[in-house]
Chain A
Amino acid sequence: MIQLILFLAVGALLLSSLFLFAGRLVQPKAGEKEIFDARRALSSLRTELLQPDIVARIFATEDLDYVNSSTSEEIRRMFLAERKRVALLWVRYLRRNILSLRRFHLGSVRHHAQLRFRTEVTLAVEFAILLFACRALEIILWIRGPYVAPKIVRAATAGAARVCEISERSLGFFGPGSATPLGKPSAGNHATL
């Protein structure tokens, strides 16, 4: 019986992968877009998502304290729902940018004949864990709201600059156009690309 289940599982797995394969959309000339997306992801991480003041504003307990002290219960509920929505959007956007960085990595190494199997498997697992962690964070925020763990948010944003710097160096491999550091806010209008 177990053997039968295994065979049926393999067959079902193949058929479902075909279903996904049939529906997937891949741009044939995605290379430049991947770099563009990766740069945009870095830019977003650096200038928006992980900016301490923005994150602090989203998760500011002072706002909650103010609402608690001077408004009705209904407004408090509305405020919490709105803040939760913003926090969830933040973590989803963060996840999307990590996905973009992964796409960039894969889009680059697939051309590389010296690719090392073990390294790539390790990286794949690490990306998967990171994405899972983001998803876990999203669930925590969804269940318990944005104010239960300010430490969580602080920790998630603290390493932003480091991450972005490293990513920039990776992007620096590509062409003379990328010699300029990316993602750093420009003088006044935040035009980073």
Chain B
Amino acid sequence: MAIILYRAFRAKLFGKYPFFYSYLAVVLVAGILLGFVYHPNSATYKKWYSVANYPTMLLGCGIVLEIFNHALQAYPGASRFARISGYIVFGLVFCYALVYPSLTASSAHTGTAIEFERDLRTVQAIFLFGLLAVISYYRIAVGKNVKGIAMGYGLFIGTSLMSVALRSYIGPSFYPAASFVQPLSYVVCLCIWTYALWSYQPNPASDSTIRIEADYEVFVARTKEMLGALRSQLGKATRP
């Protein structure tokens, strides 16, 4: 982590990816401070680990925002699509969070730290998945830096979510496996970030020569008409 921050300093990347490096800096400082009280079975360590975990998890949301900003900056259409999708997903998650506890009132819903982490990781995973889907759907080319940030953080979030969900469900018997899988995924994540963020690699410039000169509505209407024609023909075709 220190190497990544050192390279960011040398390559002047702090200003380019502020959310990402803020996250890394906080995680590094928290890690150093936690090192002073480290003991595997120490209650003090566990308590301070939980305290440090909240801000880093919340700052992790900034990484998703960073990917969004950099990947879709040059594509206002795709950016708008991703933003609206994000609002809808947020609304759905919010409704789920409101409704689900009332549906499972009878079951044990303790609202522990591990459940909070699991839920937050789920939200981050859904947003990151949606963002990657939009980037892939609109065939947007991203640079090595942004791709690395997304790959590393996605890997960490995905494995953390699965590990935390299993920990939450199985209980302490899963802790040994989780204590191996999560640090391993974080090491892999750091390796990806070190490789991808060694130097500044911006996103490839979008092709500004490809701009729709006519109105969007007209363009869409024609695409729709074309689709309608194709659909009707193939609709007839697939009928016995």
Chain B nearest CB from A168 CB (Å) reads: 9
Chain B nearest CB from A159 CB (Å) reads: 4
Q: A3-B169, A17-B136, A18-B155 are in contact. List 17 more A-B contacts (CB 8 A).
A: A4-B169, A8-B166, A10-B126, A11-B165, A13-B125, A17-B129, A110-B75, A112-B212, A116-B220, A117-B81, A117-B84, A123-B220, A137-B237, A153-B237, A155-B236, A156-B234, A159-B229
User: In the assembled complex, which residues on chain B have CB atoms less than 8 Å from the CB atom of A11?
Assistant: 125, 157-159, 161-162, 165
The answer to whether A170 and B151 touch across the interface, beta carbons within 8 angstroms, is no
Question: Contacts A18-B151, A108-B219 known; A156 to B237 CB distance under 8 Å?
Answer: yes
State the main secondary structure of chain A at its contact with B. Answer: helix
Chain B nearest CB from A140 CB (Å) reads: 7
B55-93 residues at the A interface, CB under 8 angstroms: 75-78, 80-81, 84-85
The answer to whether A109 and B219 touch across the interface, beta carbons within 8 angstroms, is yes
Q: Which of these, B155, B227, B234, B240, contacts A149 with CB under 8 Å? A: B240
> B177 at the A/B interface (Cβ < 8 Å)?
no
Q: How far is the CA of A14 from the CA of B75 in the complex (A)?
A: 23
User: In the assembled complex, which residues on chain B have CB atoms less than 8 Å from the CB atom of A3?
Assistant: 169
> B1 at the A/B interface (Cβ < 8 Å)?
no
Task: Determine, out of A24-32, A61-69, A81-89, A179-187, the stretch whose residues face the partner at the interface.
Answer: A24-32
> A75 at the A/B interface (Cβ < 8 Å)?
no
User: In the assembled complex, which residues on chain B have CB atoms less than 8 Å from the CB atom of A151?
Assistant: 236
The interface of chain B, by Cβ under 8 A from chain A, is 75-78, 80-81, 84-85, 118, 122, 125-126, 128-129, 132-133, 135-141, 147, 150-151, 154-155, 157-159, 161-162, 165-166, 168-169, 204-207, 209-214, 216-217, 219-220, 222-240
User: In the assembled complex, which residues on chain A have CB atoms less than 8 Å from the CB atom of B219?
Assistant: 108-109, 112, 170, 173
The answer to whether B204 and A28 touch across the interface, beta carbons within 8 angstroms, is yes
Chain A nearest CB from B221 CB (Å) reads: 9
The answer to whether B129 and A109 touch across the interface, beta carbons within 8 angstroms, is no
User: In the assembled complex, which residues on chain B have CB atoms less than 8 Å from the CB atom of A120?
Assistant: 81
The answer to whether A108 and B229 touch across the interface, beta carbons within 8 angstroms, is no
User: In the assembled complex, which residues on chain A have CB atoms less than 8 Å from the CB atom of B159?
Assistant: 11, 15
> A167 at the A/B interface (Cβ < 8 Å)?
yes
Q: How far is the CA of A130 from the CA of B223 in the complex (A)?
A: 13
Interchain Cβ contacts under 8 Å between A and B, 25 examples:
A10-B125, A10-B126, A18-B158, A21-B154, A28-B207, A30-B141, A31-B209, A31-B210, A108-B210, A111-B77, A112-B77, A113-B77, A114-B77, A119-B220, A126-B224, A126-B228, A133-B234, A133-B238, A134-B234, A156-B236, A158-B233, A163-B226, A166-B226, A173-B212, A173-B213
Q: How far is the CA of A191 from the CA of B85 in the complex (A)?
A: 43
Question: Contacts A10-B161, A28-B204, A113-B80 known; A15 to B216 CB distance under 8 Å?
Answer: no
